[in-house]
A and B are shown apart, each in its own frame.
Chain A
Amino acid sequence: MLAAVGLVYAALERMRRSPFGRVLRAIREDEVVAAVAGKPVFRFKVQAFAIGAGVAGLAGVLFAHYLAYVEPNMFLPQESLFVWLALILGGSGNNRGALLGSLVLLGLLEGSRFAKDVIPFLTGVRLAAAQQILVGVVLVTMMIRRPEGLLPEKPGIRLTREENAMRVGFIGLGNMGAPMAGFVRQAGFSLMVHDLRRDAAAPLLERGAVWANSPREVAAQCDVVCVCVPGPPEMRTVTLGAGGVLEGVRSGVVVIDHTTNDPAVVRDVGAALSTRGAQLLDAPLDGGREGALEGQLNLFVGGDEAILRSVKPVLDTFSRSVVWVGEARRGVGHQDRPQCARHERRLADRRVHDPGGQGGCRDAAPRRGVRGRMHRGSEHDVHQAYAGDLVSRRLHRTFRPGACPQGLRPGGGPRPSP
């Protein structure tokens, strides 16, 4: 019997660590993301359920052949609940927890049997009731004191000491920047912020962020500087202008440009920073305001891969995916795929609603760029964002043909294939 438990434990532990187990946990955390990543979610779920049922079947087999007797009322619904209790007690998501939980639960049930000898008035019937009370009390106490169970699942991402010491700066706390910075702070990084309007930073300051008076100050104090400003002119001012990042930057600092940027500006800023020993990563955002609010942005990062790896913990705090697209800083070229689709749809709509108007933006890039798994997911978002705009009639406010997203301008260089 114990050998069987050992075997199953070993097998399941192996499964938990395998790619299959990873996918299952991904599905648990967020089904849509797993689906976007190209996993057949439904099939995985059915498989997982069948495996779990099979293990329960094995338990039944052993139980029957151990007792040499089975009858229907051994299988009352409360038995299922006891299994849940054991799992919750031990800590779910974790096989050792499951083992410990069963041991503790049965220890409670069996151990309380001896209480009859110690406590007077306790008859068999009363004892049975008392056992259930005891189990209930233990469960409630657990839920209050230690909801993750006796042996909690180890978190996949944990900040190392170096990461804890990483000081992150955030410049630009607008629609996108403010929620992104919020996620960085929430993850435990020390955060310094700057924006043209100080009141934009108020909620972050309340949560422990530190205010900086200029981009220069941010660059002087931080190891990682995220810049999230409206467009190329602002980017140029914030980095190369008076009181800008370049004036304060030290060697080894990583500047991350989240702006949907003009490749020329990216090149200039990158070159200027490298003269001071700092590095620029180009990481335009996809996912819109909704993505930023949920911490589910898609990032297409251009720049040195090792540098990206060193700052990825920061980016992970507000991203669904962080994709490295190459040494050359042309994240813009990648990002414009979903953006193109969105742009085109708005443009088409604009033409419908505004015949003979000033519509007609020649440089909307072709839709064929939107392909592949990653981009299928993004295109789905595009539909959503577009539908949202239509419903809320934001379209005419948010879209002006003259203000095409910068990434859509031709000349962004050859696009790397996905």
Chain B
Amino acid sequence: MIAYLTAILTLVGVRALLTLGLNVQWGLTGLVNLGAVAFFAVGAYTSALLAVGGVSLLLAWPAGIALAAAAGAALALVALRLREDYLAIVTLGFAEVLRLFLLNEAWLTRGANGVTAIPRPLHAWFPASIISFT
């Protein structure tokens, strides 16, 4: 049960971060981002691939964040020059393009098999009863 709760809380935390991110864009600034999941994916994949490739987590994590932010900046730089509605469309499109990219460019992303055995840094620190749910 406690393992279940931990899992739920972790997922809530992930979602909370996503929502906080969207809040900066929409809640504060009024920018419509229909592709929040794209930046989520950029962060996840960048860090996962780097870490699996043997890069230190201390580098892989910031790299994931930085690449997601850079992708956001690039999209905004292009789309915000047009009317604001286009940002919504561009983000929506970007999310799907990215997903299909991840699915098909197997040489980089391992395609539909996904990236497995991503290091879990804090795993050793907690008793198995708490985190062995997934």
Contact assessment for A70 and B27 in the assembled complex, using a CB-CB cutoff below 8 Å: no
Contact assessment for B29 and A50 in the assembled complex, using a CB-CB cutoff below 8 Å: no
Determine if B89 is an interface residue (Cβ-Cβ < 8 Å): no
**Cβ 8 A contact of B13, one of A44, A57, A62:** A62
State A98–B25 Cα separation when bound (angstroms): 12
State A63–B118 Cα separation when bound (angstroms): 11
| Contact-residue bracket for chain A | 35 or more
Which residues from chain B contact A77 at a C-beta distance below 8 Å?
34-35, 37, 92, 95-96, 99
Taking the nearest CB of chain A, how far is it from the CB of B18, in angstroms? 5
The interface size of chain B toward A, counting residues with CB under 8 Å, comes to 81
Which residues from chain B contact A66 at a C-beta distance below 8 Å?
10, 14, 120, 134
Known: A60-B64, A61-B44, A103-B12. A92 touches B39 (CB 8 A): no
Interface mask (B1-39 → A, CB under 8 Å = 1, otherwise 0): 000000011111111111111111111111101111111
Contact assessment for A56 and B40 in the assembled complex, using a CB-CB cutoff below 8 Å: yes
Taking the nearest CB of chain B, how far is it from the CB of A114, in angstroms? 11
Q: Which residues of A67-107 have CB atoms within 8 Å of chain B's CB atoms?
A: 67-77, 79-80, 82-84, 86-87, 90, 92-95, 97-99, 101-103, 105-106
Which residues from chain B contact A102 at a C-beta distance below 8 Å?
12, 15-16, 18-19
Contact assessment for A80 and B44 in the assembled complex, using a CB-CB cutoff below 8 Å: no
Contact assessment for A50 and B27 in the assembled complex, using a CB-CB cutoff below 8 Å: no
Which residues from chain A contact B129 at a C-beta distance below 8 Å?
none
Taking the nearest CB of chain B, how far is it from the CB of A400, in angstroms? 40
Interface core residue of B21, B64, B95, B118 (most chain A CB under 10 Å)? B21
State A84–B112 Cα separation when bound (angstroms): 26
State A66–B118 Cα separation when bound (angstroms): 8
Nearest chain-A residue to B60 (Cβ)? A61
Determine if A55 is an interface residue (Cβ-Cβ < 8 Å): yes
Contact assessment for B120 and A68 in the assembled complex, using a CB-CB cutoff below 8 Å: yes
Determine if B115 is an interface residue (Cβ-Cβ < 8 Å): yes
Determine if A12 is an interface residue (Cβ-Cβ < 8 Å): yes
**Cβ 8 A contact of B43, one of A1, A60, A80:** A60
Q: Which residues of B55-69 have CB atoms within 8 Å of chain A's CB atoms?
A: 57, 60-61, 64-69
Which residues from chain A contact B48 at a C-beta distance below 8 Å?
64-65, 70
Determine if A54 is an interface residue (Cβ-Cβ < 8 Å): yes
Contact assessment for A93 and B23 in the assembled complex, using a CB-CB cutoff below 8 Å: yes
Contact assessment for A83 and B12 in the assembled complex, using a CB-CB cutoff below 8 Å: no
State A65–B43 Cα separation when bound (angstroms): 11
Contact assessment for A53 and B17 in the assembled complex, using a CB-CB cutoff below 8 Å: no
Which residues from chain B contact A68 at a C-beta distance below 8 Å?
116-120
Contact assessment for B11 and A106 in the assembled complex, using a CB-CB cutoff below 8 Å: yes
Which residues from chain B contact A63 at a C-beta distance below 8 Å?
14, 40, 44
State A59–B20 Cα separation when bound (angstroms): 10
State A25–B80 Cα separation when bound (angstroms): 17
Determine if A394 is an interface residue (Cβ-Cβ < 8 Å): no
**Cβ 8 A contact of A94, one of B23, B39, B76, B98:** B23
Known: A65-B120, A68-B118, A77-B95. A56 touches B13 (CB 8 A): no
**Cβ 8 A contact of A64, one of B109, B118, B134:** B118
Contact assessment for B15 and A46 in the assembled complex, using a CB-CB cutoff below 8 Å: no
State A65–B119 Cα separation when bound (angstroms): 6
State A24–B109 Cα separation when bound (angstroms): 36
**Cβ 8 A contact of B27, one of A54, A93, A103:** A93
Taking the nearest CB of chain B, how far is it from the CB of A117, in angstroms? 14
State A304–B60 Cα separation when bound (angstroms): 59
State A87–B25 Cα separation when bound (angstroms): 11
Comparing A2-10, A158-166, A319-327, the segment that makes contact with chain B is A2-10
State A94–B24 Cα separation when bound (angstroms): 9
Determine if A277 is an interface residue (Cβ-Cβ < 8 Å): no
Determine if A137 is an interface residue (Cβ-Cβ < 8 Å): no
Which residues from chain B contact A101 at a C-beta distance below 8 Å?
19
Interface mask (B59-86 → A, CB under 8 Å = 1, otherwise 0): 0110011111111110111001100000
Q: Which residues of A153-173 have CB atoms within 8 Å of chain B's CB atoms?
A: 153
Determine if A16 is an interface residue (Cβ-Cβ < 8 Å): yes
Which residues from chain A contact B8 at a C-beta distance below 8 Å?
106, 110
Interface mask (A13-34 → B, CB under 8 Å = 1, otherwise 0): 0011000010011011100000
The 10 closest A-B pairs by CB, nearest first: A57-B68, A53-B72, A71-B114, A60-B43, A57-B43, A54-B69, A55-B21, A28-B30, A60-B44, A59-B17
* A–B pairs, 15, beta carbons within 8 Å: A4-B17, A29-B30, A45-B76, A50-B76, A52-B39, A54-B69, A56-B36, A56-B43, A57-B39, A59-B14, A59-B21, A59-B40, A65-B121, A73-B103, A93-B23
Residues of A within 8 A of B (CB): 1-2, 4-5, 8-9, 12, 15-16, 21, 24-25, 27-29, 42, 44-77, 79-80, 82-84, 86-87, 90, 92-95, 97-99, 101-103, 105-106, 110, 153
Besides A48-B25, A97-B27, A101-B19, 15 new A-B residue pairs in contact (Cβ under 8 A), listed by A number: A1-B10, A4-B17, A15-B24, A42-B80, A49-B72, A54-B39, A59-B14, A61-B47, A69-B116, A70-B114, A71-B113, A80-B36, A86-B18, A93-B28, A98-B16
